[in-house]
Amino acid sequence: MQERRRALERRAVATTFLVILQALATIFFVADIAGDIADDGWSMHLLVETGATAALLAGVVFGALQLRWLILRARLDETAVATARGAMSDLIRQRFLDWQLTGAEADVALFALKGFDAAEIAHLRGAASGTIRAQLARIYAKADVHSQVGLMALMVEDLVDGDAIKPVEA
Amino acid sequence: MSISSPLDSNDVAPSPSRSRRSWDPVVKVTHWSIVTTILANALITEEGSGAHIWVGYALAAILALRLLWGLIGPAEARLSAFPPSPRRALAHLRDIRTGRKEVHRSHNPLGALMVYAIWSMLGVIIASGIVMAGPPSTAFLNPAEQSGAVTGQAVAGHGDHDDDERDEGAEGEDSVWEEVHETAVNLLYILIALHIAGVVFETRRSGREILLAMLPGRA
């Protein structure tokens, strides 16, 4: 998440500098054309140069629009993740209530959902791994699953809408 | 995790990390590159030299992009998000006096006035600079001649081979523009000092958010 945001920001900054250079070039040509017209009036050459300058100006505007798209998409992405995180937390909290986990069991179950194994959870909680294994067994029994993967799958099951994802590959 | 009522998280869910104030990369880049060009032309380049003029044109390009961004950028970067409104500025002053801290998505109303003041001053500086320097191509090609014209003296004696019509009578006019340019620059320095003072004040009043929002690394 953090990495992706940084990469996007780097890209946006680079594009911004590019657009500034383009704007500088546009100003150069606009001033140049204005000077030439003031000196000698219109000519075929100036007409072509004006067309090229208009194209350059369009490039500046397009670059700026592209930048906005980049930034807004990054924000949408951020919002989506934040919303999903909120929904996930709600769901987990709800399930833990449903299963009537004790406080200690809820803590252990959360670590289990984040992918830690019994030994790691024991280390994190400063408890014996035997205790954690016993707690995990009680959690699995209450949730009616047989493994850590089963526990995770229960949560994913409720959050992922398979029908919404499948058509993408079609 | 604390297991409280599942409902209370509803207040938290719709406020993603966006609530934290931060400017988009375009605003940050234009802000700091304008700072760079001002410092460069104030401290490094020689007045009226080709480099000075080119940095000035770069400043014009950056300002143009920021104004364009003010029309099409994200909500908080748009001009419509911080209209110049003395009424709201006064209301903000009242907030400061009563110690109320309102959250502004964009510039606060006083800051908005400062933004427009600085932009118009930059506009005057750029315009008067362009009047003196002429189109960038000639500015680049004849830096010596241009600096001669800017000092506004002893140009008549030499260097008037192909620019006769422009140098004639331009002497008096140029010194007027030079006056405008220098006065505007001095006013700009005052505005910048006020701007920095404003940032320091707001930072003390409402925390470091205002400062962090313009620094890199927080998209």
Q: Is residue B152 one of the residues assigned to a domain? A: yes
CA–CA distance, B192 with B197 (Å, rounded to integer): 8
Handedness of CA A138, A139, A141, A146 (dihedral sign): negative
pLDDT of residue B155: 39
Burial class (CB in 10 A: 0-12, 13-18, 19+), A22: buried
**For residue A168, what pLDDT band results from cuts at 50, 70 and 90?**
low
ipTM: 0.72
d(CA B181, CA B165): 23
User: Between B170-206 and B143-151, two packed helices, what is the crossing angle to 10 degrees?
Assistant: 90
B206 in contact with A, Cβ within 8 Å: no
Mean pLDDT of A118-127: 90
- Asked if A71 and B16 come within 8 Å (Cβ–Cβ), the reply is no
Nearest CA in chain B to A107: B1
Contacts with A65 from chain B: Cβ below 8 Å: 72
Tokens standing for residue A35: 């000077």
Q: Which residues of B touch A71 (CB under 8 A)?
A: 24-26, 73-74
For residue B5, being part of any structural domain is answered with no
- Provide the CATH number for the domain around residue B173: 1.20.950
- Contact residues, chain B, for A89 at CB < 8 Å: 1, 9
| pLDDT by 10s per residue, chain B, length 219 | 333 333 333 333 333 344 456 788 999 999 999 999 999 999 998 888 888 988 999 999 999 999 999 999 998 899 998 988 889 889 888 888 888 887 788 888 888 999 999 999 999 999 999 888 877 666 555 544 444 444 444 434 444 444 444 444 556 777 888 999 999 999 999 999 999 999 999 888 887 778 888 887 654
Which pLDDT value is given to residue A15?
A: 92
Band of pLDDT at residue A63, cut at 50, 70 and 90: very high
Question: Among positive and negative, which fits the CA dihedral A135, A141, A144, A149?
Answer: positive
For A155, phi and psi rounded to 5 degrees?
-70, -45
Minimum distance, in Å, between the CA of residue B1 and any CA atom of chain A: 7
Cβ pairs bridging A and B (under 8 Å): 121
Find tokens 């009578």 and name the residue. B169
CB pair distance less than 8 Å for A64 and B136: no
Cβ of residue B7 closer than 8 Å to a chain A Cβ: no
- For residue B36, the distance in angstroms to the closest alpha carbon of chain A comes to 13
Chain B from 91 to 110: CB within 8 A of any A CB: none
B72 neighbors A65 (Cβ within 8 angstroms): yes
A20 vs A18: CA distance, rounded Å: 5
Q: What is the DSSP string of chain B?
A: -----TTGGGGTTT--GGGS----HHHHHHHHHHHHHHHIIIIISPTTSHHHHHHHHHHHHHHHHHHHHHHHS-GGGSGGGS---HHHHHHHHHHHHHT-----SS--HHHHHHHHHHHHHHHHHHHHHHHHH-SHHHHHH-HHHHHHHHHTSS-TTSS-SS-HHHHTTHHHHHHHHHHHHHHHHHHHHHHHHHHHHHHHHHHHHH-THHHHTTSTT--
pLDDT band at A138 (very low <50, low <70, confident <90, very high): very high
Q: Tell me if B147 is assigned to some domain.
A: yes
What is the residue range of B59's domain?
16-214
Res. A169: pLDDT tops 60: no
Helix (H/G/I), strand (E/B), else coil: A1: coil
Residue B6 in any domain: the answer is no
| A83-95: average pLDDT | 88
Whether B130 and A24 lie within 8 Å, measured CB to CB: no
pLDDT at A41 (0 to 100): 81
Instruction: Inspect the interface and report whether the beta carbons of A27 and B69 lie closer than 8 Å.
Output: no
Q: What is the pLDDT of residues A14-23, one digit of tens each?
A: 999 999 999 9
Cβ distance A61 to B68 less than 8 Å, yes or no, reads yes
What pTM was computed for the model? 0.71
Answer whether residue B126 is part of any domain.
Answer: yes
Out of 1.10.357.10, 3.10.20.340, 1.10.10.10, 3.40.47.10, which CATH number does the structure's domain A99-162 have? 1.10.10.10
